[in-house]
Amino acid sequence: MSPELPDSRNEKILINIDGTLHPREEAKVSVFDSVVQGGDAVWEGLRIYDGKVFMLEEHLDRMMDSAKAMALSEVPTRDFIKEQIFATLRTNEMYDEAHIRLTLTRVIGDRRPGRTTVDFIKWYQQLTKGKGVPIPRA
């Protein structure tokens, strides 16, 4: 039995791992991946509004800078990452009200250099609408 999702649109989404789309229930990262073993990864959270990825280039700049600072090897190219983001959004027909968790990890399994791009995309409007902490006004 699966837990009830806060937004039922997320039930049938496909998750992109290393350029391959997986049904939500089958999307897995190895327990030996460095992100699981020690939190060794860089990630960016991106929002989709009105058919656009908000500040995509700035997010990718920061992600590449972070990957370099952490001395990650085998980092996918910007073009590859963008292709995967756009392909995943198109496949899931997500053009608004969506969130992407883009993650790069260092190592998998037997300590071989590896790369994992995870475009964890979900609908978000119903998850956040009316929730959160109000910003105090001066």
- Residue-wise pLDDT for 15-58, tens only, equals 998 888 999 889 887 777 777 777 778 889 998 888 889 999 99
Q: Encode pLDDT of 80-111 as tens digits.
A: 899 899 989 989 988 888 888 898 887 665 45
- In this prediction, residue 76 carries a pLDDT of 87
Distance CA 71, CA 100 (A): 24
Query: Global pTM?
Result: 0.78
- d(C-alpha 106, C-alpha 39), whole Å: 10
Domain ranges of the chain: 12-23+30-126
Class of domain 12-23+30-126: alpha beta
Residue-level pLDDT at 121: 67
Q: How far apart are the C-alpha atoms of 11 and 32, rounded to whole Å?
A: 27
